[in-house]
Amino acid sequence: MGRLILKDISKKFNDFLALENVNFEVEDGEFVCLLGPSGCGKTTILRLAAGLDSPTDGEIFLDGKKIAGTNKECGFVFQEYALFPWRTAKGNIEFGPQVKGCSKEECERISRHYIDLVGLRGFEDHFPHELSGGMKQRVGIARAYANKPKLLLMDEPFGALDAQTRNIMQAELLRIWEKEHISVLFVTHSVDEAVYLADRVVVMSARPGTVKEIFGINLPRPRIRTSPEANALRDAILRSLGSEIKRAASI
Amino acid sequence: MKNSLKILLVVILAILAAGCIGGNKTPQSVSEPINLVKMSGQDMVQRLGTGEIAGFIMWEPYPAIAMTNGYGKPLLYSGQIWKGHPCCVVAYDYNWYKNTTNADEILKRMALVQLKSVEYINNAKETRSPDHEDLIKYTMEFGGMTDPKAANLSLSDVEFVYAPNIADAQTFITRIQDFGIFDSEKWNQSGYKNASDYANALINKSYSDWASQNKNANLTSVALKTPVTIRYAYLVNDIHELPFYVGWKKGWFKDAGINITLSDGTPFQNGAFEMQKGFKSGVVDIGSLGIPPVIIHRINSNDFTIDDTRVEVVAGMNNEGSVIVVGKNITSMKDLSGKTVGYPGPGTIQHVLFLMEADKEGLKVRY
Amino acid sequence: MKVDSGKKGLVINLLSLIGLVVLWHLLVILARENIFNIPFIRLRDVPTPVETWYALIGSLFTKTYGPALTVGILEHTQASLLRVIEGGIIAFIIGVPLGIGIGYSKPIGNVLNPIIEIVRNMPPMAWIPLAVFILVAGGSIFIVFIGTVFPIILNTIHGVKSTDLRLIDAAKTLGASGSQMITKVIIPSAFPSIIAGLRIGLGVGWMAIVAAEMVIRSPIGLGYFIWNMGELGRYPEMVAGMIVIGVIGYIMNISILLLQKRFVKWVD
């Protein structure tokens, strides 16, 4: 469950070639981070996987099913949270179950489960504007999970958070992921974050975006952010990424 | 959010329901008041024709026009409401009077022309009269009519007079008081002891007396030595004021040494406008209008130390001459209950007459 | 208008109102004593605040003088308000769906936008002759409708168009269908805008109703009242009616603001 395959993906916006021949997979239950210089099309890949856009060339499969139109089997977590401001935390989490037509009791049960899971108990009835950034993203994650997706697409979900909250949220995310075990495709531009979170890191090249290198990370979790192995990996990824950033800057 | 939307919906529905109840509560019971609604004479004729109003009370020629068009029938002539009631009068502005040295002489000649015009009209009303055709022409011009039949009909129920009547003015004052049209506070401040006191202050009979003493005099022989110019005002298409028009068109004012220019705003839509936009604004020296506006605006004026709404009556114009005209299915005043009736405006003679008739029949009128 | 919530602000607010009344009184008195007058205004005819107050108290309730029913300010206010509410409800029922349609669908927008752009630039007052001469009934309500519907439509369009695209994406990935998108995302998101449109619209409607009532044939309504009183030369009652019109308009505005606060808790 939750195997994503991107096959020869290209994406053109008018005349601008954003992605060219992107090929990679997210295995069932795997945590994959997408790294790359700004504007290399990381977010575009997520949108393609979610079916919010369609590729100009190539195909995307989730569990062998070709994605055409909005992919309702994936959960999307946005950098700016994208919570419904007129719904409480609980209301946001119940959105997915509600549009699917779950009964009131079922919605309640689901939201209670995920509120507990992301540690939002006591904040159920708060509106988004009453919550801190970290809290909002907990709601965002719970809302995505509550929809029972096969795949979680996360677009720099912690990008807007301060460093400390960010670290906490990363740990929290891993805890939740280990419990629910749903595949994750996670966009970030923090190498640190990628090394801490991912099973594999896909490094992308700049315009047009394509897969440059893939790093497997076999370190056991919870990882020590400053362990020699982590440092070595970070160096390798940074080197791969660094040349791309330079190239992107010179384009 | 869902709940608040629901609540809002309920509120809106509740208001809607309230609105519907409000909109439906016009049962046609006898106790429903008659609604008097202000409109122009032309509008009255047209709306009676389309059935939007059940009737109207208006000065001639509008009743005659409505009747000759077959839009309505007379329910009551104003002479049936009050036999021989006074209607339009000639009045002068008191500020003009104070600032004009030979004002008395001017007013005497105004009254004399009025007398001669009234006598001319009364003779020419006879179809055998050699002047009849001319009179009908004047009537159609002044009344804005195209149908000589309507002109004849409109003249038939107007009684033209030149002498003002103090006793009848007093009756008007009393009725206006009864009907709450005066500001009672203002009446107390005005300094008039009673209706008779006020009527006597308002009407000056000396000019019409002079005119009747000199009724056989030739106008040119009594003409003012130096001609004067008078800014004159009258009401739109009001056949009651035909004596002015005849005197003007015949050149009799000029013969008496009075040049007539029409004031700013003439013709006025009703007496209230002539009082406020004419006399009070100081653009009218002498004008013709219904007697109730003259009575009302002096009292409702804000300040009795100045004379801007003080006008005095020199001569009469006419008695009677208004008609309650009604459409189909109306045979009595009671039938007008809960219905809409056109009238020329609050405080007009037609307003007061209508209230008098309603009073007789025990009906209520909302205006 | 927002009243300062602080005590000091409230005092200043009150003082400003008192100042206006004092200035008004002074101007009238000075004109009546022939000391000072503003040219082209018959200030001496303006009632003093005290005269106006007594006129207000004296004309609040409907009175009967023999056959004559002199309708009180309260009944006139009720009639005018009812017209505004009825016209406003019709405008809301028609304006909101139209606004959603235009804002959400390009083809609908292309068809309706030119029409709305022309018609909305005809002020409600410009419709009064039509209401007088062509409409047989409901003229005043129609004028309110014209005044109210366009602010509602335009604000609804604005609300719909400014719906956060990420919210639409989020709802899509969460499985919302087209109609669920409208009911569960577009409408709630546009709701504050819609209410703002209603508030502006009712303000315009209130102005329009007063103008319409002076012309449209009905013996009841505040516009009718002030015109009638003016025509009778009863200026204290006329000015009292004008003040009531202002106060009611203010109360309407404030109550919708409060309603909005009550129902839209999520806007910071």
In tens, the pLDDT along B99-134 reads 999 999 999 999 999 999 999 999 999 989 999 999
Q: What is the nearest CA distance from C163 to chain A, expressed in angstroms? A: 11
A82 → closest Cβ in C170, C176, C265 = C170
- Which of A237-246, B13-22, B130-139, C2-11 is predicted least confidently? B13-22
Write out chain C residues lying below 8 Å of A143, CB-based.
Answer: 170, 174
pLDDT at A19: 87
CB C175 to CB A100 under 8 A? yes
The answer, yes or no, to whether residue A244 has pLDDT greater than 80, is no
Does the residue C51 lie in any domain? no
- Any chains having at least 3 CB pairs less than 8 A from chain B are A, C
**B55 and B124 together in one domain:** no
**C155 and C40 together in one domain:** no
Q: What is the nearest CA distance from B16 to chain A, expressed in angstroms? A: 27
Task: Report yes or no: A91 at the B interface, CB cutoff 8 Å.
Answer: yes
pLDDT at A14: 86
**B243 and B341 together in one domain:** no
CB C69 to CB B37 under 8 A? no
CB C173 to CB A86 under 8 A? no
**C108 and C240 together in one domain:** yes
Total number of domains constituting chain B: 2
Write out chain B residues lying below 8 Å of C234, CB-based.
Answer: 183, 300
Q: What is the CATH number of the domain that holds C216?
A: 1.10.3720.10
C169 → closest Cβ in A52, A96, A100 = A52
Write out chain A residues lying below 8 Å of C166, CB-based.
Answer: 78, 80, 82
| Residue B36 pLDDT class (50, 70, 90 cuts) | very high
Query: What average pLDDT does the structure give for chain B?
Result: 88
- Which of A3-17, A84-98, B11-25, B215-229 is predicted least confidently? B11-25
CB A72 to CB C185 under 8 A? no
**C184 and C89 together in one domain:** yes
What are the φ and ψ backbone dihedral angles of C115, each rounded to 5 degrees? -65, -50
CB C68 to CB B1 under 8 A? no
What are the φ and ψ backbone dihedral angles of B193, each rounded to 5 degrees? -70, -45
The answer, yes or no, to whether residue A136 has pLDDT greater than 90, is yes
- Which of A199-203, B7-11, B82-86, C130-134 is predicted least confidently? B7-11
Does the residue B213 lie in any domain? yes
Q: What is the nearest CA distance from A192 to chain C, expressed in angstroms? A: 27
Does the residue B15 lie in any domain? no
B8 → closest Cβ in C68, C236, C263 = C263
C232 → closest Cβ in B16, B52, B296 = B296
C172 → closest Cβ in A52, A98, A144 = A52
pLDDT at B1: 43
| Residue B298 pLDDT class (50, 70, 90 cuts) | confident
pLDDT at C32: 86
Q: What is the nearest CA distance from C195 to chain B, expressed in angstroms? A: 11
**B112 and B51 together in one domain:** no
Instruction: Give chain C's contact residues with B (Cβ, < 8 Å).
Output: 32, 42, 44-47, 51, 54, 58, 63-71, 82, 85-86, 89, 92, 136, 188, 191, 217-220, 228, 231-237, 262-264, 266
Total number of domains constituting chain C: 2
pLDDT, mean of residues B56-77: 94
CB C232 to CB B300 under 8 A? yes
Does the residue C100 lie in any domain? yes
**B299 and B351 together in one domain:** no
Q: Are B184 and B192 in contact (CB under 8 A)?
A: no
Does the residue C17 lie in any domain? yes
Q: Summarize pLDDT for B317-340 with one digit per residue, the tens.
A: 999 999 999 998 899 999 999 999
**B172 and B272 together in one domain:** yes
Task: Report yes or no: A76 at the C interface, CB cutoff 8 Å.
Answer: yes
- Any chains having at least 3 CB pairs less than 8 A from chain A are B, C
Structural domains of chain A sorted by starting position, each given as residue range(s) with its CATH number in brackets: 4-73+154-250 (3.40.50.300), 84-148 (no CATH)
| Residue B11 pLDDT class (50, 70, 90 cuts) | low
The answer, yes or no, to whether residue B6 has pLDDT greater than 70, is no
**B223 and B311 together in one domain:** yes
**C123 and C171 together in one domain:** yes
What's the pTM? 0.81
Does the residue C63 lie in any domain? no
Given strand A210-216, what is the order of strands in its sheet? Answer: A74-77, A151-155, A183-187, A31-35, A200-205, A210-216
The answer, yes or no, to whether residue B281 has pLDDT greater than 90, is no
How many CA atoms lie less than 13 Å away from C218 in the CB half-sphere? 22
Which residue bears the tokens 């896909």?
A: A202
Does the residue B127 lie in any domain? yes
**C36 and C166 together in one domain:** no
- Number of A/C CB contacts below 8 angstroms equals 73
**B230 and B335 together in one domain:** no
**C122 and C204 together in one domain:** yes
**B182 and B220 together in one domain:** yes
Task: Report yes or no: A68 at the C interface, CB cutoff 8 Å.
Answer: no
Does the residue B40 lie in any domain? yes
pLDDT, mean of residues B134-159: 92
Q: What is the nearest CA distance from B15 to chain A, expressed in angstroms? A: 26
Q: How many Å separate Cα A84 from the centre of its chain?
A: 19
Write out chain A residues lying below 8 Å of B1, CB-based.
Answer: 86-87, 91
**B60 and B184 together in one domain:** no
**B195 and B78 together in one domain:** no
Write out chain A residues lying below 8 Å of C265, CB-based.
Answer: 127
Write out chain C residues lying below 8 Å of B283, CB-based.
Answer: none
**C39 and C109 together in one domain:** no
**B38 and B141 together in one domain:** no
- Any chains having at least 3 CB pairs less than 8 A from chain C are A, B
**C104 and C182 together in one domain:** yes
CB B359 to CB C266 under 8 A? no
Q: Are C54 and B186 in contact (CB under 8 A)?
A: no
Q: Are B312 and B97 in contact (CB under 8 A)?
A: yes
Does the residue B42 lie in any domain? yes
Does the residue C28 lie in any domain? yes
**B142 and B55 together in one domain:** no
Does the residue C198 lie in any domain? yes
pLDDT, mean of residues C178-197: 93
Write out chain B residues lying below 8 Å of C262, CB-based.
Answer: 4
Query: What average pLDDT does the structure give for chain A?
Result: 88
Does the residue C268 lie in any domain? no
The answer, yes or no, to whether residue C268 has pLDDT greater than 70, is no
Nearest to A140, CA basis, from A121, A122, A114 = A114
ipTM surpassing 0.85: yes
pLDDT at B10: 59
Look up the domain containing B335 and give its range.
34-84+321-366
Look up the domain containing C10 and give its range.
1-46
CB C188 to CB A86 under 8 A? yes
Does the residue B109 lie in any domain? yes
**C163 and C72 together in one domain:** yes
DSSP result, B233-267: E-BTT-GGGHHHHHHHHTTHHHHTTEEEEEPTTPS
**C203 and C135 together in one domain:** yes
The verdict on whether omega for the bond into residue B61 sits within 30 degrees of 0, i.e. cis, is: yes
pLDDT at B117: 96
Does the residue B175 lie in any domain? yes
Q: Which of C65, C142, C199, C265 is best to mutate for the B interface (most B CBs within 10 A)?
A: C65
pLDDT at B24: 42
Q: Summarize pLDDT for C152-161 with one digit per residue, the tens.
A: 999 999 999 9
Nearest to C204, CA basis, from C84, C97, C114, C61 = C84
DSSP result, chain A: ---EEEEEEEEEETTEEEEEEEEEEE-TT-EEEEE--TTSSHHHHHHHHHTSS--SEEEEEETTEEP-S--TTEEEE-TT----TTS-HHHHHTHHHHHTT--HHHHHHHHHHHHHHHT-TT-TT--GGGS-HHHHHHHHHHHHHHT--SEEEEESTTTTS-HHHHHHHHHHHHHHHHHH--EEEEE-S-HHHHHHH-SEEEEEETTTBEEEEEEE--PPSSPPTT-HHHHHHHHHHHHHHHHHHHHHHH-
Does the residue B16 lie in any domain? no
The answer, yes or no, to whether residue B218 has pLDDT greater than 60, is yes
**C33 and C72 together in one domain:** no
| Residue C9 pLDDT class (50, 70, 90 cuts) | confident
The answer, yes or no, to whether residue B23 has pLDDT greater than 50, is no
Q: Summarize pLDDT for A103-134 with one digit per residue, the tens.
A: 999 999 999 999 998 888 999 999 999 999 88
pLDDT at C259: 87
B340-343 and B34-38 beta bridge pairing: parallel
pLDDT, mean of residues C165-189: 92
The single-letter DSSP state of residue B133 is H
